[in-house]
A and B are shown apart, each in its own frame.
Chain A
Amino acid sequence: MSRAGSLRGYILIRIALMVPMVWVLLTVVFLMMRVAPGDPISATLGGKLSPADLDERREALGFDRSLFVQYLEYLWDAVRFQFGTTITDGQTIGSILVENGGATLTLTVAALVFALVVGLPLGLIAGRYRETLPDAAIRIFAILGYAAPPFFIGLLAQLLFAKNLDWLPASKMASPIVQAQAETYTHILIIDLAIDGNWDGVWDVVKHLILPAVTLGLLVMGVFIRLVRVNVGQALGGDYVEAARARGVPERRVVSRHAFRNALVPVVTVMGLQVALLLGGAVLTEQTFSWPGLGTRLLQYLNSRDYIGVQGLITVFALVVVVISLLIDIINALIDPRVRY
């Protein structure tokens, strides 16, 4: 334990631990995708092409080799960030990421911001006034936010705000005309438009973004409320809060400085887990709002039974989760020295 407390040591160990984790993840993905009888080519194109054509395709893509060789190749490709070329429309997973990743990123970041901005204050209130009426109301709100699946909230939001009130657009990421005007710099539409100074276009994207972001944000918000509520409750019963009270620190200050601050630290910790929830929810939300993100692409390949497309995108999702939880652990170690031990 000589390295305890050393931030650099912690980060290095954490990165080293990531390697077996990623390896197991990749192996699990590969096994899941290939445990099925037959090979990707006949699963995807079987019945559409003649047997000879199938054989030719199989050979060209290397599916006639042994599973073990394919596994090694899959690992080697993944190390070089190459996740294959889809069977049905011949796109590399990399190009799909570039093309559709921006939309998913925009959606998830906006949803996370909404969840934090609304969820944290509600959680603080519920924890401060535990077992009173506001607490009960907020808890039930949190449970409902979790219990209502994003596609249901999304549909209701479309019916109310898009159809009945006509305040916001119901689906897609931008109006066709904005879409056509946009030059591509970063592949993130809203940033591209801002670079061009096309503020009407930015506003158009924001309007399209509101309903999906709130829908997805509600899903994650419940977790934040619950977590902050419990932590504030525990912090308020903590020794240091008691000590602060005993020193005669005013109650307001005790609550805001001593209890709330400490209650917020675990939020960063669980943020890593929320990424998994967000990505899963994003697939559903994108489908509800015809949002042109990675989830929509994943579904396209699921429906066309494109094994390489599915395998590639799933691998990417898994890696994203692992990398983000690594980043969050490091941030966590930076702000909370206790983590490093």
Chain B
Amino acid sequence: MTATTSVTGTPDKAPEAGPPKRRGGLLSRITAPYRQSHGIQRFMLVSGTAISLAMILMAIFAPLLAPYGFDTYQDADGRFPTQGEPSDRNPWGTTVQGFDVMSRAIFGARTAVEVVLLAVAFSLMIGVPLGLISGYIGGWLDRVLVLIMDALFAFPYLLLAIVAAFLLSNTIDSGIVVTAIAITVVYVPQYFRVVRASTLSAREATYIEAARAIGAKPRTVIARYLFPNVIQSVPVIATLNAADAILTLAGLGFLGLGIQPSEAAEWGYDLQRAIADAGAGIWWTALFPGLGIVLAVTGLTLVGEGLNDVLNPTLRRRRVDRPVVQSRRAVGSSAVGPASAPEVEEDAGQ
């Protein structure tokens, strides 16, 4: 971490570099966006973080919170009713297969967190190095990679995941890891594009030139100097992609291409089973898994957009313009001071 801080602290870091607070420990770097935000932004950021944390806690403590297991269809008094209304025994009712809706909704959080963490980790591990190499080395490798990634990017993302899940489930197996891989295919091009773009602009910076001049190998330049600068744009995208990945996971489950019901509880699959129930006016099998998806995605989106608002220099610059337009507030905002810095740096860089 110290290496990262010292490198990013060099005077001519890339304009899109992260939080204005340049020194300090990990904790203050993480809390910086919360301290810098205000008003609606802060509300969005804080409520999003609260929802996301609640989801993660629910995932971790699912066995303690849920009344039954996700595939339990009976208790000491015998089998659960099928499509049973909410009752003392099954607080949120039961599904057409006689599973407890509440337990499945809670365990669904666990599946979502597992798949999303894996998918984001996989796509980072593939997308970021490819973007760095492609952007820094260039040449035909760059061209081929850009062509492939652009083609994948132009593809309707859900269809891409569908095809990947279809092929993987036909050849390997279904399950949490395989579903995560299918989702990874969708997000690799995004990281690749973002990382490649910031690598291209960082490549021309003075500190990279300096590193090359003192004889650093491409490996060293990429790992020590480019990576810490380029990686700063990733957290926002990773958060927003995680939100999107939950939707993709649910979409796959809904189409019957995701995780099988016997392996784990999955919100999308439960909603698929709820289509027939909706025609009969049974609302509880659809409502609770659906709310799980909405909450999880909303929480992560709020965090991602909130971070984007605070960290994104173009938005910060606009806020500097605002006193002229509205002549109210924002003058005392902590964002005003540091916000002018990237603009100066950008000018100096050109």
Do chains A and B stick together as partners? yes
Task: Give residues in A with beta carbon < 8 Å to B.
Answer: 20-21, 24-25, 28-29, 32-33, 35-37, 43, 131, 135-136, 139, 143-144, 146-149, 151-152, 155-156, 158-159, 163-164, 170-171, 233-234, 236-237, 242, 276-277, 279-281, 283-284, 287-288, 298-299, 302-303, 305, 310, 314, 317-318, 321-322, 325
| Contact with B163, one of A37, A310, A325 (Cβ below 8 angstroms) | A310
Q: What's the least CB distance linking B190 to chain A, in Å? A: 12
Name the B residues within 8 Å of A152 (CB-CB).
Answer: 271, 286, 290, 293-294
Give the CA-CA distance A131 to B309 in the complex, in Å.
12
| Contact with A143, one of B156, B166, B298 (Cβ below 8 angstroms) | B298
A-B contacts, 14 listed (Cβ < 8 Å): A35-B167, A131-B41, A143-B302, A146-B301, A148-B294, A151-B254, A152-B293, A158-B278, A233-B318, A237-B322, A280-B156, A284-B255, A287-B254, A314-B159
Give the CA-CA distance A124 to B39 in the complex, in Å.
21
Asked if B251 and A284 make an inter-chain contact with CB atoms under 8 angstroms apart, the answer reads yes
Asked if A280 and B286 make an inter-chain contact with CB atoms under 8 angstroms apart, the answer reads no
Name the B residues within 8 Å of A151 (CB-CB).
Answer: 250-251, 254, 268, 271-272, 275
Asked if A283 and B158 make an inter-chain contact with CB atoms under 8 angstroms apart, the answer reads yes
Within 8 A of A (CB), among B208-262: 243, 247, 250-251, 254-257
Task: Give residues in B with beta carbon < 8 Å to A.
Answer: 39-41, 43-44, 147-148, 150-152, 154-159, 162-164, 166-167, 170-171, 243, 247, 250-251, 254-257, 268, 271-272, 274-275, 278-279, 281, 283, 286-287, 290, 293-294, 297-298, 301-302, 305, 318, 321-322, 324-325
Asked if B151 and A283 make an inter-chain contact with CB atoms under 8 angstroms apart, the answer reads no
| Contact with B247, one of A33, A149, A283, A318 (Cβ below 8 angstroms) | A149
Q: Which residue of B lies closest to A143 (CB)?
A: B301
Name the B residues within 8 Å of A33 (CB-CB).
Answer: 163, 167
Name the B residues within 8 Å of A287 (CB-CB).
Answer: 254-255
Asked if B164 and A280 make an inter-chain contact with CB atoms under 8 angstroms apart, the answer reads no
Name the A residues within 8 Å of B301 (CB-CB).
Answer: 143, 146-147
Q: Which residue of B lies closest to A38 (CB)?
A: B171
| Contact with A237, one of B164, B272, B318 (Cβ below 8 angstroms) | B318
Choose among B167, B171, B272, B281 the residue with the greatest number of A CB atoms under 10 Å from its CB. B167
Q: What's the least CB distance linking A260 to chain B, in Å? A: 16
* A280-B157, A302-B166, A314-B159 known; A131 vs B39 contact (CB < 8 Å): yes
Asked if A37 and B156 make an inter-chain contact with CB atoms under 8 angstroms apart, the answer reads no
The 7 A-B pairs with the shortest beta carbon distances in the complex, nearest first, are: A280-B158, A152-B290, A147-B297, A276-B156, A280-B156, A24-B151, A155-B286
| Contact with A155, one of B151, B156, B278 (Cβ below 8 angstroms) | B278
Asked if B293 and A147 make an inter-chain contact with CB atoms under 8 angstroms apart, the answer reads yes
Q: What's the least CB distance linking A126 to chain B, in Å? A: 11
Q: What's the least CB distance linking B320 to chain A, in Å? A: 9
Give the CA-CA distance A158 to B277 in the complex, in Å.
10
Q: Which residue of B lies closest to A287 (CB)?
A: B255
* A148-B290, A322-B154 known; A302 vs B255 contact (CB < 8 Å): yes
Asked if B325 and A148 make an inter-chain contact with CB atoms under 8 angstroms apart, the answer reads no
Given contacts A147-B301, A148-B290, A171-B279, 4 further A-B contacts (CB under 8 A): A43-B170, A237-B321, A287-B255, A299-B255
Give the CA-CA distance A27 to B147 in the complex, in Å.
11
Asked if A36 and B171 make an inter-chain contact with CB atoms under 8 angstroms apart, the answer reads yes
Asked if A147 and B154 make an inter-chain contact with CB atoms under 8 angstroms apart, the answer reads no
* A131-B39, A135-B40 known; A143 vs B305 contact (CB < 8 Å): yes
Name the B residues within 8 Å of A233 (CB-CB).
Answer: 318
Give the CA-CA distance A151 to B248 in the complex, in Å.
12
Name the A residues within 8 Å of B297 (CB-CB).
Answer: 146-148
Name the A residues within 8 Å of B170 (CB-CB).
Answer: 36, 43, 305
Asked if B154 and A325 make an inter-chain contact with CB atoms under 8 angstroms apart, the answer reads yes
Name the B residues within 8 Å of A163 (CB-CB).
Answer: 278-279, 281
Name the A residues within 8 Å of B290 (CB-CB).
Answer: 148-149, 152, 155-156
Q: Which residue of B lies closest to A305 (CB)?
A: B170
Asked if A303 and B256 make an inter-chain contact with CB atoms under 8 angstroms apart, the answer reads yes
Q: What's the least CB distance linking B101 to chain A, in Å? A: 14
Choose among B152, B159, B163 the residue with the greatest number of A CB atoms under 10 Å from its CB. B159
| Contact with A24, one of B147, B255, B302 (Cβ below 8 angstroms) | B147
Give the CA-CA distance A148 to B271 in the complex, in Å.
12
Asked if A37 and B171 make an inter-chain contact with CB atoms under 8 angstroms apart, the answer reads yes
